[in-house]
Amino acid sequence: MAETVGFTPTEEMTLIRSTARQFLGDRLSIGVVREQMMSGEGFDRSLWKEMAELGWTGLMIPEEHGGAGYGLAELSVILDEMGRNLTPGPFLASAVLATMAVMEIGSDEQRAELLPALASGDRLASLALYEGPRDWGLDGIATTARPSGGGWVIEGVKRHVLDGHMADTLLVLARVGDDLGLFAVDSDAVEVEQVPVLDLTRRQATVRLNGVHVPAERALGERPVGQGLRRVLAMGSAALAVEQVGGAQRCLELSIEYAKTRYQFGRPIGSFQAVKHRCAEMLVRVEQARSTTQHAVRVTDDPEELAIASPLAASVASEAYVWVAGETIQVHGGIGFTWEHDAHLYLKRAKTSSLLLGDPRFQRDLLGRALGL
Amino acid sequence: MSDHVEQLLDRLLEEHPPATTPHEVFWGAQYDLGLAWVWHPDGFGGLGLPRRVQGLIDRRLLDGGASVENRHINLLGIGMGAGVLAAHGSDAQRRRWLRPMFTTEEMWCQMFSEPGAGSDLAGLATQAVRDGDEWVVNGQKVWTTLAHVAKWGMLVARTDPDAVKHEGLTYFIVDMESPGVDVRPLYQITGEAEFNEVFFTDVRLPDSNRIDAVGAGWRVSLTTLMNERVAIGGNAVPRGSGRIAQAIEVWGRSGLEDPVLRDELLRLWADVEAFRLTSIRANEMTAAGTPGPEGSTGKWAWATHNKAIASFILDVMGLEGTLYPDGYSMSRPPAFEGRSPQHGFLRTRANSIEGGTSEIMLNILGERVLGLPGEPRVDKDLPWKEVPRG
């Protein structure tokens, strides 16, 4: 089994972090996040162009396809800052998950066709995988693709498609006989309906494919795609875990700030051990989660190690964030339960994030399989 | 590692082939060459080099077939006492104590805790009263590891009951063979006596055994305790080793497929792996000169996980977990290897008490790392003798 490779941030990572913190602070302060989360689309698409100009949408895309050619370790710095900031929008859906799927599964021609527009920010994409509420293992996919006139006809309903209402291209998982295939489908050809979500900063859509015709060259890579897709989801889970740690860190900071300045019984509530120990335990859980995520994003070139490191990070970070966000409301007392305070935004992001790509039990099952337990 | 150190290592291994040299002789030669505590000055077991070089030296010695077991055998001396002597001792004291400590010819113990002073160590009551060039000690210490084999004991005693508690303490080195020192085994919940109680009745010790100034005892103790927490919480071990390995082994042998127990096992595995990665990250950040809060979280996390795993193993064992295969021996414990899971369940209860309770560790994290305010202290400005006790 591989050992950890370096936790110290590289110069590039430090640079990316400072750009991200500045941009998100200037253009997506919490006030702006709140405006956007109450809007119909949930995200102002003009900001996507700005992110693309910063090179964020193409960070992982190879240079020959218009990207910067970095890895997940560099990308994760942006996700960390976005998690802190509760940044809304399709970054996870498009720039992370869908982009990685094209990179991992697509043929050379398909990569050359799809990646430049993703890198430039001209095209948004999203994975349309799940149908039922616990489809994380990709075992119960009912959507079908059948050959027709040199192309494919796809029939089925996809749910929980992240930011599907903004996507130009949907990467639809469908059954082809006993195999699984992934199809790049134009959103014009399908019925997309935004659904009401718990976390208003990350939207979902239901996608209905009623006998949609897809040309042959839009079937990504070679079937079956299950293995490649699981690898994408492992990297995606590691990426999401980084975002979760960013959010948990911000919750910890909010709690400490409040515990130092809120007085009851004539002293700051942080001087009471009941509160102090809660905060100290938050610190421990955030730091432990951070170690697992930083490890996971650095081992993506080692499939065997990633199979352990990704579910480790996903389960630890998910549980840490949900707990820390919950305790943040508790430390704040009544004010923490108001709409006005930001604590609920973090709780909603925390709980939903822990369910997006596999709940902690599912992730631990993956971990157990990787460990032979 | 510099050429000079390489040459010294070659010389040590050549002149004292580990296979045929008695350990004490080898360790003595290692000390004389300055390869014992490499960061100490010349003549005191060191070469004045950075502390991290020691790790490289020890690895080379291990590879060369030498033993570094002395660091375990005389843990309280080499791990803590040496640090105190280095930071606060006189040259004469260093010369007298460091070498035989390193060779394990003279074992060391640490006498801080008392029945009335656990977490509030600075409240301790064992008294030392000056009598000419000597001090006379009366009182009782507890949880004293290795006191029954130690030649020297690090003692913190109250020398000024009229001062506030932190200021009336002085640090001494006691000859454990002195008249009036009575060491008794302290039986713990495992039925063994790993630790001792030490009673002092009119024990006389020379003023030359005092470390640092009269009244400086608290400051000196802090040096010792810092080294202790590093020793307990700071090691990076291989993945899946230690108590979680025992859990996996017991799980495998049980043939169980219970999904609830399996999930719990994996959660515990994830917890210790997260802790392990955090230790590695902390070491790396410290080495890079940018230590963060991650380094302080180890002791609490380790204690919490260790207890949980030990308890889980008995759950997997079912009714077998109700047995105690080796019986309650009511004796000194045997060597550490191969203890039963049931023994582990009992022994780990101490993990969140020894070396700083989990509550104290969380206070430290809350106050020193997060900057949260302390509790109001009722004993802060009182002379020690007026502080309520019970």
Map out the domains of chain B as residue ranges: 3-102, 108-221, 234-355
Query: pLDDT of chain B along its 390 residues, tens only?
Result: 789 999 999 999 999 999 999 999 999 999 999 999 999 999 999 999 998 899 899 999 999 999 999 999 999 999 899 999 999 999 999 999 999 999 999 999 999 999 999 989 999 999 999 999 999 999 999 999 999 999 999 999 999 999 999 999 999 999 999 999 999 999 999 999 999 999 999 999 999 999 999 999 999 998 777 665 554 444 568 899 889 999 999 999 999 999 999 999 999 999 999 999 998 998 888 777 777 777 778 889 999 999 999 999 999 999 999 999 989 989 888 765 678 999 999 999 999 998 889 999 999 999 999 999 999 988 988 999 999 988
- B368 touching chain A per CB within 8 A: no
Per-residue pLDDT tens for B250-274?
A: 999 999 999 999 999 999 999 999 9
Q: Nearest CA of chain B to the CA of A310: how many Å?
A: 11
Q: How far is CA B275 from CA A276, A370, B306, in A?
A: 21, 19, 11
User: Quick check: A287 and B294 CB within 8 A?
Assistant: yes
A280 vs B251, B292, B366: nearest CB? B366
Output the CA torsion sign for B91, B92, B94, B99: positive
3-state secondary structure A166-212: HCCEEEEEEEECCEEEEEEEEHHHCEEEEECCCCCCCCEEEEEEEEE
- B280 touching chain A per CB within 8 A: yes
Among all residues of chain A, which has the CA nearest to that of B367?
Answer: A276
Quick check: is B228 catalytic? yes
Q: At what angle do helices A360-371 and A303-332 cross, to 10 degrees?
A: 150
CATH ID of A126-218, from 2.40.110.10, 1.10.1040.10, 2.40.40.20, 3.30.460.20: 2.40.110.10
Q: Nearest CA of chain B to the CA of A301: how many Å?
A: 19
CATH 1.20.140.10 fits A226-371, yes or no: yes
Domain-wise residue ranges, chain A: 11-123, 126-218, 226-371
Per annotation, catalytic residue among B228, B264, B320, B354: B228
Q: Nearest CA of chain A to the CA of B235: how many Å?
A: 15
CATH of the domain spanning A11-123: 1.10.540.10
A277 vs B273, B297, B366: nearest CB? B366
Note the pLDDT of residue A141: 96
Answer whether residue A4 shows pLDDT above 50.
Answer: no
Structure token pair of residue B328:
């309650």
Q: Nearest CA of chain A to the CA of B255: how many Å?
A: 11
B184: phi then psi, degrees, rounded to nearest 5: -125, 140
User: Quick check: A288 and B297 CB within 8 A?
Assistant: yes
A276 vs B266, B273, B362: nearest CB? B362
Note the pLDDT of residue B335: 65
The HSE-up count of residue B214 (CA atoms within 13 Å, CB side) is: 12
| A to B CB pairs, distance under 8 Å | 125
B318: left (phi over 0), alpha (psi -120 to 50) or beta: left
Q: What's the rounded Cα separation, in Å, for the pair A88 and A163?
A: 10
User: Quick check: B277 and A292 CB within 8 A?
Assistant: yes
Query: H-type helices in A262-359, by residue range?
Result: 273-297, 303-332, 343-356
Angle at B147 between CA B141 and CA B148, to 5 degrees: 125
Averaged pLDDT for residues A2-30: 87
Q: Nearest CA of chain A to the CA of B301: how many Å?
A: 7
Residue B195 DSSP SS3: strand
DSSP states of B355-366: TS-HHHHHHHII
β-pairing, A169-176 with A125-128?
parallel
pLDDT above 90 coverage of chain A, percent = 98
Superfamily for domain range B234-355: Butyryl-CoA Dehydrogenase, subunit A, domain 3 (1.20.140.10)
- Contacts with A256 from chain B: Cβ below 8 Å: 370-372
Q: What's the rounded Cα separation, in Å, for the pair A172 and A195?
A: 18
Note the pLDDT of residue B113: 94
Choose the weakest-confidence range: A126-140, A217-231, B227-241, B250-264.
B227-241
User: Quick check: B281 and A294 CB within 8 A?
Assistant: yes
User: Quick check: B363 and A270 CB within 8 A?
Assistant: no
CB under 8 Å to A186, separation ≥6 — which residues? A168, A169, A170
Q: Is the ipTM of this structure higher than 0.90? A: yes
Q: What's the rounded Cα separation, in Å, for the pair A55 and A149?
A: 40
**In which band, very low, low, confident or very high, does the pLDDT at A260 lie, cut at 50, 70 and 90?**
very high
- Contacts with A368 from chain B: Cβ below 8 Å: 262, 265-266
Note the pLDDT of residue A307: 98
B3-102 folds as: Butyryl-Coa Dehydrogenase, subunit A; domain 1 (1.10.540)
Structure token pair of residue B80:
């803590």
Q: From the CA atom positions of chain B, what is the Rg in Å?
A: 23
Structure token pair of residue A26:
């200037």
Answer whether residue A5 shows pLDDT above 70.
Answer: no
- B251 touching chain A per CB within 8 A: yes
Residue A147 DSSP SS3: strand
Name residue, tokens 């369910």. A355
User: Quick check: B294 and A6 CB within 8 A?
Assistant: no
Run of H or E including B138: strand B134-142
Note the pLDDT of residue B338: 72
User: Quick check: B269 and A367 CB within 8 A?
Assistant: yes
- Contacts with A288 from chain B: Cβ below 8 Å: 271, 274-275, 277-278, 297, 301
Q: Which residues of B259-281 are buried (b: 16+ CB within 10 A; e: fewer)?
A: eeebbbbbbbbbbbbbbbbbbbb
Among all residues of chain A, which has the CA nearest to that of B290?
Answer: A8
Q: Nearest CA of chain A to the CA of B388: how many Å?
A: 21
From the number of C-beta atoms within 10 Å of its C-beta (0-12, 13-18, 19+), residue A275 rates as buried
B108-221 folds as: Butyryl-CoA Dehydrogenase, subunit A; domain 2 (2.40.110)
Name residue, tokens 């790509």. A357
Structure token pair of residue A288:
């432990």
Q: What's the rounded Cα separation, in Å, for the pair B4 and B21?
A: 23
Per-residue pLDDT tens for B30-45?
A: 999 999 999 999 999 9
B114: phi then psi, degrees, rounded to nearest 5: -135, 165
The HSE-up count of residue B137 (CA atoms within 13 Å, CB side) is: 33
Name residue, tokens 């489908």. A185
Among all residues of chain B, which has the CA nearest to that of A7?
Answer: B281
Query: Could you tell me which of B327, B387, B274, B159 has the C-alpha nearest to residue A287?
Result: B274
Residue A245 DSSP SS3: helix
User: Quick check: A270 and B374 CB within 8 A?
Assistant: no
- Contacts with B375 from chain A: Cβ below 8 Å: 271-273
